[in-house]
Amino acid sequence: MIKDTSEITEETSPYGVSGKDRVKNAIKLSLAVSTLVFLIKFTGYIYTGSNSVLSDAAESFVHIFAVGFSAFGIYFSQKPPDRNHPYGHERIGFFSVGAEGMLILIAALTICYQSVKSLFIGADIFNLEAGAGIIFISALINLVLGIYLVRIGRKEDNMILIGNGKHTLTDVYTSSGVLVTLLLISWTDFLFLDAIVAIAVAVYISVEGYRLTRYAITGLMDMSDEKTDAEIRKILDRETGGRVRGWHDLRHRSTGKTLWVEFHALFEEGIDLEEAHREATILERKLMDHLKGDVIVTVHLEPEKAHIRHHMTHRDRGS
């Protein structure tokens, strides 16, 4: 059973923009702004010759490709189920988030390589004040964009947009570190600080890349969420009783925005099929009313006294 949407229309803004359109518009804006920010940072690198600025620009360059993956993921995930994909296309979101994480890790390795090399051969850094101003502008733009993306992503319950927004905010933190580095170098003339901070930036963004990659892997492997599992069990324990004697064999997984829940419900002996179906429908509705997002519930109906015998017979035939 799925949530009844026959009397529900998708929320729109006063200008008639649907939730799906808000998500699409947000990711398009992210792609355009990310390209602009990269160009600003690369200009800063040309002005300064700083490895830390280069590392910040490299992270933004990778971010452009990551946003491209995200845009594709959002477009594909919103396609309705079809004959070849009866469960929909939402799981592409995990691939998109995983690709973003891997690209971040690649950027981190590249930054480390360039920074370690500069520690041995030295570096010539110039125009530090101008470079600091350029990095400050890019960080301010990304701060506004990141907050906007996370806000829209949470409102629309879109993990791709949330991941993209968090990546953008991560870029703000790294840019802030680079900004402080340029100012310190201008005051102290300690040029090696540039490479040291660049390596620190690489380590920092690699942690974020690891988290995104791990999230994608757990989603693709259908790892159950502990909080969701506890909530479902709590609801089932509270709502079963009377003619519904109990439940077992609970399974659930998320495909992105949709939560799929399956379990076996035990009914008192002698109940007719129509009454059992009515009780199962009520139980399904209780789950969907208490769980967040789109929920699809499948209940297997079993007689209380005979279910063990039926399961044993099924296993014997399958062996």
The letter for the amino acid at 129 is E
The Cα 64–Cα 256 span in angstroms is 23
Spatial CA neighbour of 55 closest among 146, 121, 116:
116
Give per-10-residue mean pLDDT for the chain (319 aa).
Answer: 44 55 90 94 88 82 81 79 82 80 82 78 75 92 95 86 85 85 84 82 83 86 86 91 87 84 90 91 91 88 70 49
Q: Which CATH superfamily is domain 226-318 in?
A: Cation efflux protein, cytoplasmic domain (3.30.70.1350)
Query: What's the distance, CA 30 to chain centroid?
Result: 15
What pLDDT score does 4 carry? 44
Letter string b/e over residues 79-105, b meaning 16 or more CB atoms within 10 A of that residue's CB: eeeeeeeeebbbbbbbbbbbbbbbbbb
The dihedral over CA atoms of 129, 130, 131, 132, expressed in degrees to the nearest 10, equals 50
Angle between helices 128-155 and 19-48 (to 10 degrees): 170
pLDDT at 241: 80
Q: What is the pLDDT of residue 149?
A: 94
Distance CA(41)–CA(14), nearest Å, equals: 37
Q: How many CA atoms lie within 13 A of 20 on its CB side?
A: 10
Q: Going by CATH, does the domain composed of 19-220 fall within 3.40.50.360?
A: no
Tell me the C-alpha distance between 127 and 134, whole Å.
Answer: 11
pLDDT tens-digit series, residues 85-99 = 887 878 887 887 788
Domain ranges across the chain: 19-220, 226-318
| 3-class DSSP string for the chain | CECCCCCCCCCECCCCCEHHHHHHHHHHHHHHHHHHHHHHHHHHHHHHCCHHHHHHHHHHHHHHHHHHHHHHHHHHHCCCCCCCCCCCCCCHHHHHHHHHHHHHHHHHHHHHHHHHHHHHHCCCCCCHHHHHHHHHHHHHHHHHHHHHHHHHHHHCCCHHHHHHHHHHHHHHHHHHHHHHHHHHHHHHCCCHHHHHHHHHHHHHHHHHHHHHHHHHHHHHCCCCCHHHHHHHHHHHHHHCECCEEEEEEEEEEECCCEEEEEEEEEECCCCCHHHHHHHHHHHHHHHHHHCCCEEEEEEEEEECCCHHHHHHHHHHHHC
